Amino acid sequence: MRTRVGIVGGGPAGLLLSHLLHLRGIESVVLEARSREDLESEIRAGVLEHGTTELLMETGVGDRMRREGAVHRSVNLQFDGRRERIDLEGLTGKTITLYGQHEVVKDLVRTRLEAGGEVLFGAKGIELRDLGSEEPKVRFLREGEERELRCDFVVGTDGFHGVSRKSLPDRVSTEYERRYPFGWFGILIEGPPSTEELIYALHERGFALVSTRSPEIQRLYFQCDPNDEAGNWSDDRIWAELHARLDTEDGWTVNEGNIIHKNVVQMRSFVCEPMRYGRLFLAGDAAHIVPPTGAKGMNLAVADVRVLSRGLTEFYASGETELLDGYSETCLRRVWKASRFSWWMTSMLHRFDGDDAFQYRMQVAELDYVTGSRAAATSLAENYVGLPMERGFEAQAKERASAS
Ligand code: DHB
């Protein structure tokens, strides 16, 4: 088999890249180890930044998101018995959309298959070869048969545990990591929303988050031991913990519902530099991981493949490699800023083992400042709705100067 771009991993990054390339007339093949059913049912985060929703709309895969997703104009921070609103739209002119990652995946799979795209599910035992050459190869096993895909480029979008990053030769990359001493216990419930907007809560017992998926399905999380298992928590114990961390003295209480899914989310910051070796490009979780606080993971993956699709488009149109050569640096600037934001939100909103009363007071003071100062609230809001996709402050300043 031969294709131009071999994409290893059929999550949002891989599928969206394949879609963007198709719109530019560039052929690709997506290899995914899981079955379509498993891929489409994996429960992940659900906050889409402004730029992510725009890209999905502009490229024709956003219709269902527009219909079924919920636009949120603000989020709440709860601490010290108070709940304060951050007016995202008022501070930035932008909003976010609540729409599950697996719904984005379903929309992308359908769009790719309807356009005749090749998405090969159940591709096992993937190995990457000849990455330093002009014809890298992907070997895999599918339906009992050994296959080889020859490509111009290989893109690794197979997540943190995938083979792509592990295929980099020793010493060509540097990895930066921070592990957090807690996880998130996540539940999906059937029932009406407790609030119209998200609530991020700091409580002495630990962090809690009220989110939503639809008018009928709600998503809630609370800080837990990183080694905890979903089966350790009875429904009653889960509700007691959520009430303890979230209910307020004015009588507001989190709505209970039938729990239909429980999982524990690990928390880690990780960045691999550079995001390229030879003809292999890494994108999304294969290259970087953020803790979930602030929901940046999928949005970063989308930003990566947007940059990469432009580089590949330029290459196939003109043979130029300037954008491809700048891929890693362009993406990493945004990745590090989102890593900083996710680390900051995580640090501000969680209890760390061994934290003393002084530390807790610092966290409350920081939340008080962030919600009370327009400057600080704007800083949170502009990160939350998403920093500009590619242009930095300097490029924007230049544009402003030339416009005036
Ligand atoms: C959700 C996840 C997040 O990490 C977050 O910050 C907000 C919402 C969610 O799954 O709904």
Q: Is residue 397 one of the residues assigned to a domain?
A: no
Residue 21 sits in a domain whose CATH number is 3.50.50.60
Q: Which residues pair with 96 in a beta bridge?
A: 72
Question: Domain check: are 138 and 257 in the same one?
Answer: no
Q: Outline where 59-192 has alpha helix (H).
A: 63-68, 88-92, 101-114, 163-166
pLDDT tens, position by position, 391-401:
655 565 666 67
Q: What is the pLDDT of residue 396?
A: 56
Q: What is the pLDDT of residue 217?
A: 95
Q: Look at ligand 1, atom 5, and give the residue with the nearest C-alpha.
A: 295
Q: Which amino acid is at 357?
A: A
Question: Domain check: are 307 and 332 in the same one?
Answer: yes
Q: CA-CA distance, 345 to 339, in Å (whole number)?
A: 10
Q: Is residue 140 one of the residues assigned to a domain?
A: yes
Question: Domain check: are 190 and 327 in the same one?
Answer: no
Q: Is residue 91 one of the residues assigned to a domain?
A: no
Residues with pLDDT less than 70, the chain? 390-400
The alpha carbon of 337 and the centre of ligand 1 are apart by a number of angstroms equal to: 18
Question: Domain check: are 172 and 254 in the same one?
Answer: no
Question: Domain check: are 118 and 24 in the same one?
Answer: yes
The alpha carbon of 206 and the centre of ligand 1 are apart by a number of angstroms equal to: 16
Q: Is residue 305 one of the residues assigned to a domain?
A: yes
Q: What is the pLDDT of residue 402?
A: 77
Question: Domain check: are 15 and 114 in the same one?
Answer: yes
Q: Is residue 400 one of the residues assigned to a domain?
A: no
Count up the domains in the chain and report the number: 2
CB of 26 shorter than 6 A to ligand 1: no
Q: Is residue 40 one of the residues assigned to a domain?
A: yes
Question: Domain check: are 10 and 157 in the same one?
Answer: yes
**Domain extent at residue 205:** 183-265
Q: Reply yes or no on whether 193 is catalytic.
A: no
The alpha carbon of 66 and the centre of ligand 1 are apart by a number of angstroms equal to: 19
Q: What is the pLDDT of residue 43?
A: 87
Residue 230 sits in a domain whose CATH number is 3.30.9.10
CB of 297 shorter than 6 A to ligand 1: no
Report helix, strand and coil shares of the chain as percent, to nearest 5: 40, 25, 35
User: Is 370:380 a contact under the CB 8 Å cutoff?
Assistant: yes
Predicted model pTM: 0.95
Question: Domain check: are 34 and 112 in the same one?
Answer: yes
Looking at 236, 265, 294, the residue that finishes a domain is 265
Q: What is the pLDDT of residue 403?
A: 73
Which of 114, 88, 97 has the alpha carbon at shortest distance from 53?
A: 97
Question: Domain check: are 252 and 305 in the same one?
Answer: no
Question: Domain check: are 166 and 283 in the same one?
Answer: yes
Q: Look at ligand 1, atom 3, and give the residue with the nearest C-alpha.
A: 295
Tokens read off for 232: 């350790």
User: Is 15:102 a contact under the CB 8 Å cutoff?
Assistant: no
Q: CA-CA distance, 277 to 328, in Å (whole number)?
A: 10
Question: Domain check: are 172 and 220 in the same one?
Answer: no
CB of 294 shorter than 6 A to ligand 1: yes
List 12, 292, 327, 350, catalytic entry? 292
DSSP string, 265-310: E--EEEEEESSEETTEEE-GGGTEE--STT--HHHHHHHHHHHHHH
Q: What is the pLDDT of residue 400?
A: 66
User: Is 258:235 a contact under the CB 8 Å cutoff?
Assistant: no
Q: Is residue 76 one of the residues assigned to a domain?
A: no
Question: Domain check: are 283 and 259 in the same one?
Answer: no
Which of 113, 52, 41, 5 has the alpha carbon at shortest distance from 299?
A: 52
Q: CA-CA distance, 217 to 199, in Å (whole number)?
A: 16
Helices 12-23 and 297-318, packing angle to 10 deg: 30
Q: Which residues pair with 283 in a beta bridge?
A: none
Q: Is residue 394 one of the residues assigned to a domain?
A: no
Q: What is the pLDDT of residue 401?
A: 77
